[in-house]
Amino acid sequence: MRIITGRYKKTNLFSVPGKTARPTTDYLKEVIFSVLYDCADKKVLDLFAGSGALGLEALSRSAEKAVFVDFSDKAIKTIKQNIRKLKCEEDCRIYKKRVGSFLMKTTGKFDLIFMDPPYDKNLVNSTIELIFEKGLLNTDGKIIVEHSKDEKISEELQPFVDYEKESGRTIVTILTLNKQET
């Protein structure tokens, strides 16, 4: 697992130890960031962050800051290792919290919200709904969801879907508030 491009290009990242984490493949990172294209000056939130690879990729591509949220001790330790390796401590904040609890309490607004919840735990739609409910997405912001193809985006959220790509048992879905207006 590595940073694809930008100021940290080709830097190998630490992976979360054990068999529960699913690192985002380079192919899916390429798909995600080719659609996002520009991360410059964006405020990034990486939920269910795992190793922090998506938020760190955005930082490598000139995002302003990244906030990482995960409840796993192993994930938090790995995110800290990766941040130290990249020497980007000033641009990062880490929260060891359950995602729902973090979203209920945060007052931050973000331009890019990455989420890669555990597969098939019914966390996808409820997390997206909470992000919208709490108004955590900036006007032109995007939510990027990596999820199991068995856990579909709900009918109520379909009007916000801007992009979908299936790869194996994974789907990448990008949602935006402004989708209904376009």
Specify the pLDDT at position 27: 82
Specify the pLDDT at position 20: 67
Specify the pLDDT at position 17: 87
pLDDT by 10-residue block (mean), the chain, 182 residues: 91 85 77 89 97 96 97 96 97 97 96 94 96 94 95 95 92 83 40
CATH topology for 26-181 is Rossmann fold (3.40.50)
Specify the pLDDT at position 124: 96
pTM, two decimal places: 0.94
Sheet with 137-148: strands ordered across: 92-96, 65-70, 43-47, 110-115, 137-148, 170-176, 161-167
Specify the pLDDT at position 182: 36
Domain-by-domain residue ranges, the chain?
26-181
